[in-house]
Chain A
């Protein structure tokens, strides 16, 4: 199983006949939305046989103290992620676009709050 955070490893066992079979439940990434209207946030991961039990397990582990009112689970293998090598080309172009920030503009005090 491979995820944006994990490397790939061998989660199978050689079966006496035929092809090796999976022995480990797949990995799910868990996202939770708290009560205060913010977006779902990644809180961690867990193993479960299917989505239904992943949600139940997430409820048991990640919402023990009123942390949330909504749970998303995504099979880790289904997530596509940017790679660290691309960090430069992906994010650096925004560095010289200072005009994207409101502080770039000098608005006279007389104009009032803006």
Chain B
């Protein structure tokens, strides 16, 4: 997902009886569907895990602008360009909402940025793949935003108030993202032979990386069990991946495109599709920073931060000067 492999306390989930009164009250509130707000008492592990998770999600929104930003100047029509620009601007907003949510937990925006730029914090593996043709803009909106939606919709009910509220805002915008992507895919899939090939090629390249977005199976993971008890993770990775495949397979059929998986098959008994797992070795390798575009992405973010320094400092100095002048006049 936009947040992958998030570590929690590393210990098993405590039972209510093992908790001291404070923690017990906290957990009971979550169990009853209540929200935790920034100034409420919370276990240290909850705070730290959320900072990691929301921070990684925010970084993904920001780095996620790069593969699509790549095509803004080369969009085939002015209308497509305006749409793509709006979509990429939305993603910047998503990053902002999430950074603000993380900040309510006591970490600064600059700290989060520094941790991204130094490689200490991660972003989603999916954004380390290149966008080679215009059809990739379709595939990204359809598949990548589609996979993100799978995870973001349930997170609107997450236990941490500011995170849940950020998700509500984000989800309102995501359906535009997925639809504009599918619209591009429809145009390409129903276009001439070269366009249809491009659409199929985009699906071929983005299918498995999209499945990887959900992360490896976490049925046995203590981190996931704890995160689910805290309701900062709402479903297992496998559940969400299955849901995504079930939703996407018929859409691919509608487009007349073939999902690159010979084992993809409707399973009557389960009422779901059977499908092949992605290559998890590739996933871990990409997460380690060895994806095809990992170096480019980090260079682009570092350059933006360095090049923007004079703007940040200049505006701050100007604001201070104005304030001093106003004080002197009063």
Chain B neighbourhood of A4, CB < 8 A = 38-39
- B172–chain A nearest beta-carbon distance, Å: 8
Contact B316 A49, beta carbon cutoff 8 Å: yes
Q: How far is the CA of A81 from the CA of B41 in the complex (A)?
A: 16
Chain A neighbourhood of B38, CB < 8 A = 4-7
> Given A25-B315, A49-B319, A64-B89: A8 and B106 within 8 A (CB)?
yes
Contact A25 B111, beta carbon cutoff 8 Å: no
In-complex Cβ contact of B97 among A1, A44, A47 (8 A): A44
Chain A neighbourhood of B100, CB < 8 A = 44-46
Q: How far is the CA of A9 from the CA of B51 in the complex (A)?
A: 14
Q: How far is the CA of A46 from the CA of B316 in the complex (A)?
A: 15
Q: How many residues of B contact A (CB 8 A)?
A: 32
A interface, size bucket: 20 to 34
Contact A44 B37, beta carbon cutoff 8 Å: no
Chain A neighbourhood of B165, CB < 8 A = 44
Q: Does B201 contact A (CB under 8 A)?
A: no
Residues on B lying within 8 angstroms of A by beta carbon are 37-41, 86, 89-90, 93, 96-97, 100, 103-111, 162, 165-166, 169, 312, 315-316, 318-319, 322-323
**28 A-B pairs whose Cβ atoms sit less than 8 Å apart in the complex:** A3-B104, A4-B38, A4-B39, A5-B39, A5-B162, A6-B105, A7-B105, A8-B106, A11-B110, A23-B110, A23-B316, A24-B109, A24-B110, A25-B315, A44-B96, A44-B100, A44-B165, A46-B96, A47-B109, A49-B315, A49-B316, A49-B318, A50-B315, A50-B322, A53-B315, A64-B93, A84-B39, A84-B40
Known: A7-B105, A84-B41. 15 other contacts (CB 8 A): A1-B108, A3-B104, A5-B39, A6-B38, A9-B103, A9-B108, A23-B316, A24-B109, A25-B315, A27-B103, A44-B165, A44-B166, A49-B315, A61-B96, A64-B86
